[in-house]
């Protein structure tokens, strides 16, 4: 099994709740565990996360935009 598949499995097993709003990738994108060793390489969605999912997970649109910037690399200090 590839490293990517192992990381995906780990993150999905850790954070995904099938009864919560959003797909497993949306939920891992919003993962708040910033001290996790996999946080920087966690699976993320490339699609916009709907406002209803953000509201469910209590993530403001401003916080979400910061997450998106960080994921895209634009929010990283070089």
Answer yes or no: is 78 within a domain.
Answer: no
Distances (CA, A) of 55 to 4, 42, 46, 74: 29, 21, 19, 24
Structural domain tally of the chain? 1
CA dihedral 14, 18, 24, 27 (to 10 degrees): -70
| Domain limits for position 67 | 3-72
Confidence bin at 78 (pLDDT 50/70/90)? very low
What are the pLDDT digits (tens) for 20-76? 999 999 999 999 999 999 999 999 999 999 999 999 999 999 999 999 999 888 655
pTM of the model: 0.88
- 53 in a structural domain: yes
For 8-31, what is the mean pLDDT?
Answer: 97
Choose among 56, 75, 55: nearest CA to 65.
75
Q: How many CA atoms lie within 13 A of 3 on its CB side?
A: 3
């Amino acid at each position: 099994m590839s490293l990517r598949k192992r990381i995906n499995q780990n993150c999905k097993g850790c954070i995904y709740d099938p009864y919560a709003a959003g797909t497993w990738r949306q939920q891992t994108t919003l993962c708040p565990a910033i001290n996790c060793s996999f946080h920087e390489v966690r699976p993320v969605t490339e699609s916009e996360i709907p406002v209803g999912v953000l509201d469910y997970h209590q993530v403001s649109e401003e916080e979400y935009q910061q997450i998106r910037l960080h994921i895209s690399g634009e929010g990283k200090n070089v």
